[in-house]
Chain A
Amino acid sequence: MDFSKSSLAIKRWIYTSLILLFFIILIFGFIQLQVSNKDVYVLKSLNNSIRKSQLYAVRGLIFDSKGKIVVDNRPSFSLAIIPRVAKPYTIKDICNRFHLDYTKVKQELKKTFGFRPIVVARDISQESVIWLEENRLNLPGIINVIEPKRYYAPGVKSPHIFGYVGEVTQNEQKQNPEYEQGDLIGKKGLEKKYDMRLRGSKGVKFLTVDASGRELGKLDINRDIPPVHGNDLQLCLDYEQQAFAESLMTEINGALVAVDTKTGGILALVSKPDYDPRNLSGKISSDVWSQLLNNENHPLYDRALQNGYPPGSTFKMVPATAALQENIITPNWKASCPGYFRLGRKVIHCWNLKGHGTLNLTQAIKYSCNVYFLQLGLKIGLETWSKYSELYGFGRKTGIDLPGENKGLVPSVEYFDKRYGKNGWTKGNLANLAIGQGELLITPLQIAQYAMIIANKGTYYTPHLVKHFYDYKTQSFENYPIIEKRVNEISTEVYDVIRNGMKEVVEGGTGWLGKVPGIEMAGKTGTAENPHGEPHAWFMAFAPYDDPEIAISVIIENGGHGGATAAPIARKFLEKYFFGHLIPRVFAKPDSNTVEEKKDSLILPMDIINIQPLKIIPQKEIHNQ
């Protein structure tokens, strides 16, 4: 080969230029990355090594009116997977151990990529936490995270007031963009109504992490944003009173609502049957859930404000008010009750088959005479009846601070025309409505509000559970706005007559078992026919008579006569409210209980002025059709 010096020199320079070219290209590449695009890569590198970790705010506590904590938080352990780190077979193992659906978990993990832990099982047992910690090294990417869960003080139940919290669904996320995947939000009750207040605001913690997602420590405390504790709620009710009310309703299907007539504050709100809210805190087992859903008594349903019932005789003050206010009758207008009423070809019986004789309005209320009110109803007509029903707040929501309230149903002329055709409905429908039957649906809460209106002679307040909030951000209390409303269309004189009638009800009338000794009060019984068995028993009351402070409504589904079953419950509640204990009954046997009282209720009190026989078999209030 030719190995002359000149040819070598040329080859050397050719090769040298080639090498130089390569190096220039390389250096150009570095300049582009490190000078031209430096900022982009600095940001990327920061994002790489810094994990923005969310700090969950403490959910606001719930206090009762006495300042006792009724709903609190406790830590619970959740199983979480870091998608980027966890190996498929590890995930499979974990799924087997915790009885999770592998394909579902995989789908869940696919939604995000990276180092953000995804919670796959909530509220795992203590043993599982220990097992996870022991096997930490063998389970890369599997961690347990501490999440708060609702804790209810011992003896606290009231699921229909508090509701429960659960993981946000995609639908809920769409409705409220503030919700993020995996958030725990209020699903029912106060938790739902005040979710935005209770949840507080999340904080952010910046952590340095390595490529495996391991947290190495805090980046810079000054950049962190601390979470803000959710608002605390203080309720208007004394939980002792509420718990007592719940105990009165044990093993009963029904509801009890007591309201402070001076503010509208709810003093008790019971719906039975209910469930233990602890079962829906943290992990909800599907067994418990399906049991609750499929239970024929519907424990998830809040009867106090979601269920409309026919109000029965408690409604009689509406036609009475209408007739007086419209000057259709005077308080002294009398009607005679022979025990039945003939309407066209139909005969409607009074609950007292022997008849009440001739009564005025006060007596008609006192003895809840159907025949009297049937006649009155025909006199006032449907239009006036509807108008006064609405004045008393029926057919619209009360505006209580709980979600899912039912507005009930007050039929109007238009409603009947639509339903039965222009001339398809008869006087029978109207007569029915006058005694609180027929197409009339009223919630127990509305009855309580109705009692409050009568008690205050027209003034009433929006019912509400919350007295005030404590805002941790401003560190101040914020009162729940008390909204005063007034029924101006009804004069004081009319209220006086109605109230007097209601006072008579408990003073030896049908509601005598509702009378609290030593307290002057007023009430009204109701026995609402329903196609499913025994009639529903109603009782409503307010007390004290002259300066009312509490109004109450009680319904017992299929409880029979209102005066017999509902009134004693209201009485006991009020005794506890006024005196802090029950007052022994002079009429009842020493070991009296509800069963005994049912027997007692067959006997009217001794001081009755009526000529009616002492022993009566309770009848259904009407014998329609």
Chain B
Amino acid sequence: MSEILDNFDLVLRAFWLTIQLAVLSGIASMVLGTLLVAMRIGPVAVLRGIATTYVTLLRNTPLLIIFIFIFIAAPDLGWFVHTPFLVKGVIAVTLYTSAFVCESLRAGVNAVPLGQAEAARAIGMTFGQNLRHVVLPQAFRASVPPLASTLIAMTKNTSVAAVFGLMEATARMRWFTNRYTDDTITIFIVFAIGYIILVEVLSLGSFGLERRWKAAR
């Protein structure tokens, strides 16, 4: 028990890296996911095809395999050799999560009443204007619950980075369990509580956003 409390700064530093990974990948996958959904619901068939293929492939590949591509296969071909681990981790998590963000946003777009897009067209808006001013702002609101689920899953998924040498929370737990074999349960509970706090903060945040935006409608 005392070992983990004596080294509590290590626990906090590990969770700080987890938070960095989660925030950076979260922002990047929101951007990439929005681009993908615009391609996926747009009028150009080739772009639709690209986005659909991307989503299908990335959704069905385990995140670990994507990490293998970025951390092990790419350097073998001479890519990302000197890239910092944090950046590589963010790239891997983003490639995977953006496919799910795209799906969550698509669900949100489908939830926008038909009349909204029709009215926008009726006053002469183009597809781009329609998306930017009418459909996507409403779609983002409708997407809050599925997006929150996606981002929560992403936060937990940053743990895969542990396999590839990033000293984030999961890797740190392994370090502790390796060192203090008598205290496995305490160590596990401490790290589990850390993750639960992160997840519940996200969950509460999305709940608050959802309520606030519902009232604004």
Q: Do A and B come from one complex?
A: no
Query: Taking beta carbons and an 8 Å cutoff, which residues of B are in contact with A?
Result: none
Query: Taking beta carbons and an 8 Å cutoff, which residues of A are in contact with B?
Result: none
